[in-house]
Structure 1
């Protein structure tokens, strides 16, 4: 018989990666709750909310986050552009998950061992602003095979974080 494991029974090693998740004006409380869970699941350093401050009293956010909003570090800044520029001066490489004329498939993502990253995701309806995209060092998209050319922002962040942490883990398995 196969038993489903509880959180305490898994053998997953807890790790923090040098990744900041910057959310450029994401407003859906369900998506924000999902971002907390994804940040926790993938060992993200912290979440930076820009543009719209999250309502941490929202029942929808709390239900979706499942208490990770209490354990994941986060900050809020109004200005995405200024925040990204500040993080760049701190040595962070800025990458975005957005379909653009010059983006590469996220499966091709690679990094150097000592890199620190800011993963930028954009508004549910309008994506990442052009001004923010122009500040990015690299742009990535998720290859899609259906009729639609976009997916939910939380789903895309989950896929991107999977690929990014997979790249970081290559250095730790040597």
Structure 2
């Protein structure tokens, strides 16, 4: 049975997905991984928030929805959000219609097409922070979402991503992060690794998690009160690039046992962030 809907929003805003000719639905067409990689949503100022929790966190962070898309049974979960944005159309449909539209089974409640806010200023973010995570060319959206969730929950002040890193606001990244990507400041760097000079000018000590001849165990890294620290985590396959390693002050490792080479970057990031953020600031 559909959930009861508080009718304080205008029911005339509810539009049926059956009319696929409505151009406002184009933003939801074929949201499968393969199709999204061929689209230029970042340049168009669009991202898709998936699940009621992610939609709510995005809106609470100040982002503005263009429209909502959901099954009728979930209408009651977003009444407050509908009322905050009375001009955003609400598209509803049954499970089959929604799957035909987006290209997969929509089982997490709702979606919203969102306007991207203006990017944050790197200099301002660095000045306001003391613990920074730098994600170099992370290629998997699930890994990125997991890293951001750990960064947010463990106390990292901000995340910087390199030009080739996947999009933190891509629907899978945002969903895996449980919407924390909307609360944690992040900046996409313009030039890599040249932008590391900007961090150094702000007094950041540069660490990189990478197995090198002079790498030290993470637990041996001592951080003084008041010290600013940035940690680079590399691509899932190749790790941190040699160009970035040349610019850092120290490489660190998590010692492993039973012939296990390394942890997944998502798991490794959680350990690194806990160590960095448990040190005095």
Q: Tell me the TM-score normalized by structure 2.
A: 0.52
TM-superposed deviation, 1:56: 4.1
Moved over 6 A (4+): none
Q: Which residue of 2 aligns with 1:20?
A: 132
For structure 2, the residue ranges without an aligned partner over 5 or more in a row are 1-127
TM-superposed deviation, 1:146: 2.1
Q: Deviations over 1:44-75 (max 9, x none)?
A: 11100003243345332122110101101000
Local SS of the residue matching 1:157: helix
2: distance between equivalents of 1:146 and 1:59?
36
Q: Is this contact kept in 1: 2:225–2:279, CA < 8 A?
A: no
Change (3 A) 1:53 1:103: closer
Q: Is this contact kept in 2: 1:17–1:165, CA < 8 A?
A: no
Match of 1:35 among 147, 160, 164: 147
Q: Which residue of 2 aligns with 1:146?
A: 258
Figure out how many residues of one structure are paired with residues of the other and give that number: 154
- Superposed CA RMSD in Å reads 1.7
Match of 1:156 among 268, 273, 278: 268
Q: Which residue of 1 aligns with 2:66?
A: none
Q: Quick check: which has more Rg, 1 or 2?
A: 2
Q: Which residue of 2 aligns with 1:10?
A: none
Q: Does 1:54 align with 2:166?
A: yes
Q: Which residue of 2 aligns with 1:44?
A: 156
Change (3 A) 1:55 1:149: same
Q: Which residue of 1 aligns with 2:216?
A: 104
Q: Tell me the TM-score normalized by structure 1.
A: 0.82
